[in-house]
Amino acid sequence: MEVLEVHNVVKSYGTQVAVDKISFNIAAGEIVGFLGPNGAGKSTTMKMIAGILSPDEGEIRIKGKVVSLKNPEIRKSLAYLPENNPLYAELYIREYLEFMAEIHQVKAVQPTLDEIITLCGLKPEEHKKIGSLSKGFKQRVGLAQSILHKPDLFVLDEATTGLDPNQILEIRDLIKNLGKSHAVLISTHVLQEVESICNRCIVIHKGKLIADDPMSVLKNKLHPHREVMVSFDRDIAIELLSKKWSKVTRGPQEFSFLIQDEDVRLTETVYRWVVEHKLVLNELKWVENKMEDVFYSLTANPVK
């Protein structure tokens, strides 16, 4: 079932169109990366999903119910964690979570807190005030309070910004666990993060949606070719490969070149060429496009 449905949403600030008729859906069990350059409209979109802003046009639904400032009840179905994680620094972790549980009208508060504190790895620090925690643990507290009321949708804006490498891995693991049974939309500028935890990626640029694909599909949007790396039993002239394929380059012991992606029998195509030229193939591997290159390709040029 689709947890989140965004349909033809538009949001303007005066004459500037921040979000321009974007549409996408997210189902339970999906972790979807939300990418775009600064000013692309990501935060505006997330605030509309969270019910903080109203769209000028279009509609957003969570579990089939329309998100509206006039319908605050819908917020019980979602958790929104903004980039600047708002916490009460003078409260102890459990004290803060108890307060948030009361706001969310959580039943069986103490068993729920025990479960959430363990899940988020906060047990060793729960005796401390939030203000004395590292940024990584503050992010954990933010995630913990967002889980308390067992929402269907998590909207996370730059959840790992400013964390050290160990903290990033820990928060990623936590998000992966959430994504097993919930819908997760995560905005980030860290492309490695998208590759490591997301099933799918949405890219917006200048308010327009320009890509919405599984990660494996998105990586091949750079061009309609696949890069191949090969090595043979003996050295050959680069011109021999250039007669058949494009962008041939020579490495220390191997060659790389591009092959048309529309040929579904990619490996067979290379093998036939090797046999035809009486070579012995030592190695053949397909090289994936880098997310940085794909992102640049999609967002570097003006949107028409």
For position 87, which CATH number holds?
3.40.50.300
Is 301 inside a domain boundary? no
CB neighbours of residue 246 within 10 Å: 11
- Of the three residues 218, 239, 270, the one that is the final residue of a domain is 218
Query: Residues 85, 195: one domain?
Result: yes
What gap in Å lies between CA 184 and CA 188, rounded to an integer? 13
Structural domain of 34? 2-218
Query: Residues 141, 98: one domain?
Result: yes
Query: Residues 86, 27: one domain?
Result: yes
CB-based contacts of 39: which residues, under 8 Å, 6+ apart? 206
**What dihedral angle (degrees, nearest 10) is formed by the CA atoms of 47, 51, 52, 56?**
80
Residue 159 tokens, joined? 């959840």
Is 40 inside a domain boundary? yes
Is 131 inside a domain boundary? yes
Is 130 inside a domain boundary? yes
pLDDT for the residue numbered 183: 94
- Of the three residues 202, 218, 234, the one that is the final residue of a domain is 218
Is 302 inside a domain boundary? no
Burial of residue 257, with CB atoms counted within 10 A of its CB: 0-12 exposed, 13-18 middle, 19 or more buried: buried
Chain center to CA of 127: 33
pLDDT for the residue numbered 26: 96
What gap in Å lies between CA 106 and CA 98, rounded to an integer? 9
Residue 300 tokens, joined? 């570097």
Chain center to CA of 81: 15
Query: Residues 80, 108: one domain?
Result: yes
What are the angstrom distances between the C-alpha of 295 and each of 159, 205, 230, 237? 20, 10, 27, 34
Query: Residues 250, 153: one domain?
Result: no
Query: Residues 259, 136: one domain?
Result: no
What is the pTM (predicted TM-score) of this model? 0.77
> How many domains would you assign to the chain?
2
Q: What is the pLDDT of residues 43-85, one digit of tens each?
A: 999 999 999 999 999 999 999 999 987 777 787 889 898 877 8
Predicted confidence band at 34 (pLDDT cuts at 50, 70, 90)?
very high
Please tell me which residue, 119 or 122, carries the higher pLDDT value. Answer: 122
